């Protein structure tokens, strides 16, 4: 399966495509109404390639690690955008409400922290395929690009690929750790503050 996507996001050189299956015997299943048909087939390697099953397995497992890292990055971005969307919607609903400024200030503080993390993980300024020429790609695209490098030949990953993954993963883990801290502290404080203000779930706007 593919990595998690960020809706509308454009990647420069990376891809969210999942890795190809390893050479081996597989089963395909077809269901039509109440009928079910099964058939085995063999996925063969290029006969010119001397890569061993163990090396194909190493490559496949590494590609899965890269895919999962891209998914972790994108899941964090999707959650950040969802939180920011919810807080912004709440502030809009509080139009004319006496506590709007208090909630807006608290939401702004929370969203600024989330935005800084988001901008380290993904390039938010890319709106078209050529925008990366002006705005450098971020961690998600760099990690996804590594997948293309590792999958570019039927061979086990190079030492350099492991080194690059370790470096980029470490940087992403720092951002994910900061994100977790914001969720466990700042978001909890924000929710508690809104709850204490006794803001109604449904607000009737004045005519």
Residue-wise over 8-47: b if at least 16 C-beta within 10 A, else e?
A: ebebbebbbeebeebbeeeeeeeeeeeeeeeeeeeeeeee
Query: Which pLDDT score, from 0 to 100, does residue 130 have?
Result: 84
pLDDT at 41: 97
- Long-range Cβ contacts of 158-163 (<8 Å, 24+ apart): 161/62, 162/62
> Are the beta carbons of 60 and 170 closer than 8 angstroms?
no
- Residue 191 — very low, low, confident or very high, per pLDDT cuts 50/70/90? very high
Candidates 24, 59, 20, 21; CA nearest to 44 is 24
Q: For the chain, give the mean pLDDT.
A: 94
The pLDDT value recorded for residue 151 is 96
Confidence of residue 205 (pLDDT cuts 50, 70, 90): low
Confidence class for position 99, pLDDT limits 50, 70, 90: confident
pLDDT value of position 13: 87
In total, the chain counts a number of residues equal to 207
Given a cut of 90, is residue 63 above it in pLDDT? yes
pLDDT at 66 over 80: yes
- Mean pLDDT to the nearest integer, 113-129: 94
């Amino acid at each position: 399966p593919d990595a998690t996507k960020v809706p509308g996001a454009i990647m420069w050189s990376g891809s969210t495509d999942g890795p190809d299956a390893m050479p081996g015997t597989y089963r395909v299943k077809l269901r039509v109404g109440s009928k079910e048909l099964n058939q085995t087939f063999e996925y063969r390697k290029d006969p010119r390639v001397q890569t061993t099953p163990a090396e194909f397995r190493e490559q496949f497992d590494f590609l899965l690690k890269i895919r999962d890292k891209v998914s972790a990055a994108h899941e964090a971005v999707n959650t950040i955008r969802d939180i920011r969307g919810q807080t912004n919607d709440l502030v809009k609903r509080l139009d004319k409400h006496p506590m709007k400024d208090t909630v807006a200030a608290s939401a702004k503080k929370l969203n600024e922290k989330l935005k800084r993390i988001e901008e380290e993980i993904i390039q938010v300024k890319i709106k078209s395929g050529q925008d990366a020429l002006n705005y450098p790609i971020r961690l998600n695209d760099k990690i996804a690009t590594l997948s293309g490098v590792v999958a570019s030949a039927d061979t086990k990953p190079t030492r350099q690929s492991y080194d690059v993954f370790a470096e980029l993963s470490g940087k992403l883990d720092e951002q994910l750790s900061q994100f977790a801290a914001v969720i466990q502290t700042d978001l909890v404080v924000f929710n508690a503050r809104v709850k204490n203000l006794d803001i109604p779930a449904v607000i009737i706007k004045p005519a």
